[in-house]
């Protein structure tokens, strides 16, 4: 055998030995290539959908619900380019790097699709898809957190408020809050108790809000007692805890909490940004304890003067203005409200309150013409705010105080029109229950019983557990009784007993229902 032949045989042996390895490598390479192809197909579809969304946003004609749902479908089509099995973990239970990448891309597309569905007024389309992806992404908290947020938001938009709150509470248990990054932005989980409390208040459920405040106190205290918190996270937790104490009028606990915040700020120089917040809350606490309001006003205004760019500046100025108004320093209060409007127009909730209070102060100063103009401007300038809901009724209350019957009727008619317009503009917002309640009050004042009963029916259908709905039912019973409408009264009584069995007035309603049913 020649040397060349022996070399060829050795090469053949190496090739035979390497053949199984090559087949495995080829298979792995094909699998990786397939995954990369999956990622590419999804990305291409998403990029096209994003371009189309941007084009629609720039279109002066805007995008109606049909167009929004069409844009949503593009994201769904991109997602469905691959099977969920492409990001499902294998037998080992861990996703590969490519699977994690694909899941992240799919979740971003699902977020875009859900956002468009909710914008189009179809949160139901977002709900189940987000739930399904949340289940499929189990183990990847970066995805499940986002899906849970969208599930809660969809339920809220659908008016399923208790379910939305249940999801938020489950998130508080499931996801420990993260320490802030270099920007200092707070983890959204830490603010969920406040979201729940605000939602209860918006729904007119003050008793529920008090319960949620107590739950929030326990939540934040639990985080502190567990220990091991990053100092920046601990500062945020203690800040929330102080707020719950203030809202529950727990003065001693609030003072102790502020002492703890100051100790943290001294121990960690990077927490010096706590200073304006601590000073604001000290001043607010001082104002709540009575005594000379001038000192509390000066302390509040000093916070805004020393830290004009701090988030605490605007609430400090508003609290100072409210104290001036309560102290009958009306010209100063008027000037303070106007300063808030000119300096901080982007802080919409505070600006809306300032404009409403400006109108009230103008009335007290004897300038009803200016007051009326100011109050009438609130719903248009600051829709979807508590101030917008209050302003139309405030105008009617002025005419009632001065005994102007014709003025009352005209104001109530304008209030009905204003509330109707605000409800139609966003009929799924939680604040709509307050708007419907105010519309009912205006119609009752106009003695338009049939229209008022129609609003009650709408409240029962859309807000069956809201305390405002219970109040409307009780008022509707009185109107029906005055007009001798026994069947209407009986219907409202039955509904009140069914939906509010634990109300302090439920027993009386049951007795009346039995008597009118005989």
For residue 38, what pLDDT is reported? 65
Alpha-carbon span 119 to 129, nearest angstrom: 16
Alpha-carbon span 15 to 402, nearest angstrom: 104
SS3 311: coil
Cα 325–chain centre separation: 30
- Residue 485 host element (H or E): none
CA atoms within 13 A on the CB side of 468: 26
DSSP string, 382-407: STTSHHHHHHHHHHHHHHHHHT-HHH
CA distances from 13 to 10, 16, 19, 485 (A): 5, 5, 10, 102
Give mean pLDDT in consecutive 10-residue pieces for the chain, a chain of 518 residues: 42 38 37 64 77 69 76 86 76 76 86 89 90 87 92 91 95 94 87 95 91 97 94 94 94 94 89 90 87 90 93 95 96 97 93 97 96 96 92 95 95 95 86 94 96 96 91 96 94 94 90 82
Contact 151, 171 (CB under 8 A): no
For residue 150, what pLDDT is reported? 94
CA angle 477, 482, 485 (to 5 degrees): 65
Radius of gyration over alpha carbons of the chain, in Å? 30
Phi, psi dihedral angles at 401 (to 5 degrees): -65, -35
Q: Which residue has the tokens 């005989």?
A: 518
For residue 55, what pLDDT is reported? 76
Task: Select from 356, 266, 347 the least CA-distant residue to 313.
Answer: 347
CA distances from 312 to 73, 256, 261, 267, 416 (A): 43, 20, 15, 22, 36
The count of other CB atoms within 10 Å of the CB of residue 207 is 9
Cα 204–chain centre separation: 15
Task: Select from 394, 245, 367, 243 the least CA-distant residue to 315.
Answer: 243
Alpha-carbon span 23 to 297, nearest angstrom: 80
For residue 32, what pLDDT is reported? 57
CA atoms within 13 A on the CB side of 276: 18
- Burial state string for 410-444 with b = 16 or more CB within 10 A and e = fewer than 16: ebbbebbebbeebbeeeeebbbbbbbbbbbbbbbb
Alpha-carbon span 237 to 219, nearest angstrom: 9
Q: Which residue has the tokens 């294998």?
A: 90
**187 Cβ contact partners less than 8 Å away, ≥ 6 residues apart:** 177, 178, 179, 180, 233
CA dihedral 432, 433, 439, 443 (to 10 degrees): 150
Alpha-carbon span 271 to 278, nearest angstrom: 11
pTM: 0.79
């Amino acid at each position: 055998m020649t040397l060349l032949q022996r070399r060829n045989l050795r090469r053949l042996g190496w090739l035979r030995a390497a053949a199984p390895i090559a087949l495995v490598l080829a298979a792995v390479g094909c699998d990786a290539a397939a995954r990369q192809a999956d990622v590419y197909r999804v990305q291409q579809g998403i990029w096209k959908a994003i371009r189309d969304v941007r084009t629609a946003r720039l279109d002066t004609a805007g995008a109606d619900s049909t167009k929004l749902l069409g844009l949503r479908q593009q994201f769904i089509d991109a997602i469905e380019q691959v099977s969920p099995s492409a990001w499902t973990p294998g037998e080992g239970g861990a996703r590969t790097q490519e699977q994690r990448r694909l899941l992240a891309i799919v979740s971003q597309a699902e977020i875009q699709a859900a956002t468009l569905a909710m914008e189009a007024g179809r949160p139901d389309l977002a709900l189940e898809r987000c739930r399904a992806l949340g289940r499929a992404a189990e183990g990847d908290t970066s995805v499940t957190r986002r899906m849970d947020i969208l599930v809660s938001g969809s339920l809220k938009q659908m008016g399923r408020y208790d379910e939305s709150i249940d999801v938020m509470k489950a998130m508080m248990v499931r996801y420990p809050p993260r320490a802030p990054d270099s920007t200092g932005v707070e983890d959204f989980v830490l603010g969920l108790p406040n979201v729940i409390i605000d939602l209860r208040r918006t729904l007119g459920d003050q008793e529920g809000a008090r319960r949620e405040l107590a739950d929030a106190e326990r939540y934040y205290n639990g985080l502190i007692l567990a220990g091991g918190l990053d100092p920046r996270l601990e500062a945020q937790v203690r800040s929330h805890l102080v707020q719950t104490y203030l809202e529950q009028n727990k003065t001693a606990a609030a003072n102790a909490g502020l002492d703890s915040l100051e100790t943290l700020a001294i121990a960690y120089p990077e927490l010096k940004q706590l200073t304006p917040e601590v000073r604001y809350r000290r001043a607010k606490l001082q104002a709540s304890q009575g005594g000379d309001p001038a000192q509390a006003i000066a302390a509040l205004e000093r916070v805004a003067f020393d830290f004009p760019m701090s988030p605490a500046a605007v609430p400090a100025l508003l609290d100072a203005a409210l104290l001036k108004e309560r102290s009958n320093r009306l010209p100063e209060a008027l000037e303070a409200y106007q300063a808030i409007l000119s300096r901080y127009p982007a802080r919409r909730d505070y600006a809306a309150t300032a404009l409403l209070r400006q109108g009230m102060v103008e009335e007290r100063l004897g300038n009803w013409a200016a007051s009326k103009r100011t109050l009438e401007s609130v719903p248009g300038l600051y829709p979807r705010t508590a101030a917008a809901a209050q302003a139309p009724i405030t105008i009617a209350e002025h005419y009632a105080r001065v005994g102007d019957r014709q003025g009352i009727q005209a104001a109530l008619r304008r209030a009905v029109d204003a509330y109707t317009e605000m409800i139609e503009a966003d009929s799924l917002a939680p604040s709509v229950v307050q708007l419907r309640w105010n519309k009912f009050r205006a119609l009752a004042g106009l003695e338009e019983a049939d229209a008022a009963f129609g609003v009650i029916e709408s409240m029962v259908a859309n807000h069956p557990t809201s305390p405002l709905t219970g109040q409307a039912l009780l008022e509707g019973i009185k109107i029906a009784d005055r007009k001798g409408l026994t069947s209407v009264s009986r219907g409202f009584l039955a509904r009140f007993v069914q939906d509010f069995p634990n109300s302090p007035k439920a027993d009386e309603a049951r007795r009346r229902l039995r008597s009118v049913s005989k």
